[in-house]
Every structure is written in C-alpha cells, then in structure tokens.
Amino acid sequence: MLGWIVTFLLIAIVAGVLGFGGIAGAATGIAKFLFFLFLIGLIVSVVIGMTRGRKPNV
C-alpha cells in the first residue's frame, strides 16, 4: 500500500508543478487537492506501518 501512496504522491507532485506554474490554470484546484490528499495518505500509511512494527514493503 505504501508503494501505491508514493506513486500517487509523485503523480500529484507533477500535477502540482504543472498546475501551480500556471501552465494548466484550470487544473490548479485539482492539483492542490490531489497533492494534499496523497500527502495525507502517505503520512497515514507511514504511521500505520510504524505502529504495526513491520517493515514497509516498497
């Protein structure tokens, strides 16, 4: 699951760079939403992985 979160986080970062830079003005809101959504998902996955005491499968 952590691998999926990292993948989607990278996609959101790319979308954020395009959206925040003004290249795709209409996509700015979507890019910001995706960026923060997957950032929160990454943090939740890491915390859950640490509390279970297992190594993450990357």
Q: pLDDT of 1-58, one tens digit each?
A: 677 777 777 877 787 776 665 655 656 677 778 788 888 888 888 888 788 876 656 6
Q: What are phi and psi of 2, to 5 degrees?
A: -65, -35
53 Ramachandran zone, left/alpha/beta (phi>0; psi -120 to 50) = left
Give pTM, 2 decimals: 0.49
Please identify which residue in the block is written with the tokens 């990278």.
10
The candidate with the shortest Cα–Cα distance to 20, out of 38, 6, 34, is 34
Q: Report the pLDDT value the prediction gives residue 27, as an integer from 0 to 100.
A: 62
Instruction: Give the span between the Cα atoms of 37 and 53, in whole angstroms.
Output: 25
Task: State both tokens at 52.
Answer: 């279970």
